[in-house]
Amino acid sequence: MLVNRALIPVAVVAALFLSGCVESTVPVETPTPAPSYVRVSGLFAVATKIEGDVVIDGRGYVLYRSALDRSSPTRSVCTGSCTDLWLPVPSAPNLRLEGINRELVGTYRRPDGRTQLTLGGWPLYEYAGDRTPGDTGGRGIAGSWWLVRPDGSLDDGH
């Protein structure tokens, strides 16, 4: 019987694993469900080539605001099922800021009792359709959802 000598080490390692003599070094990833309400660690102003200066969270996701919301007094029109697509950015203690005036950052008590971050009095959101940091897929949706500038104003595409 001919045996391929290259397969002998593979067979030995397989036998050791099966016998429990060798510990696996291959990490096993357990999928973690995405939280529906992610805490942010900071707000950061970043310069982009296309959109100009915009605000991102500590994970690198761009933040949005609705042109239909109000800043004085703060009011959000996004309630109920709207928050499945437009995720209110929760308030956070010891929020790190870079390129954003701390005096412009505040909070708003939503009708559901949660506290949402505001910038210049405007409620802040993430777009559930943005899958990776830097995505701007929510920009311009329904003609009212826009990226947020570091002063709280919106980037309405003009």
Alpha carbon dihedral 76, 82, 83, 89, in 10-degree steps, equals: -40
pLDDT greater than 80 at residue 29: no
3-class DSSP state of 144: coil
Full-prediction pTM beyond 0.85? no
Cis peptide, bond prior to residue 90, ω within 30 of zero: no
Instruction: Look at residue 93 in the predicted model and tell me its pLDDT.
Output: 84
Average of per-residue pLDDT across 114-135 = 95
Q: Residue 38 has what pLDDT?
A: 53
Is the pLDDT higher at 150 or at 22? 150
Please give the torsion angle defined by the CA atoms of residues 8, 13, 14 and 17, in that order, rounded to the nearest 10 degrees: 160
Q: Which residue has the higher pLDDT, 28 or 61?
A: 61
Give the pLDDT confidence score for residue 157 in this predicted structure: 66
CA distance 35 to 38: 6
pLDDT beyond 80 at 32? no
Is a pLDDT exceeding 70 seen at residue 28?
no
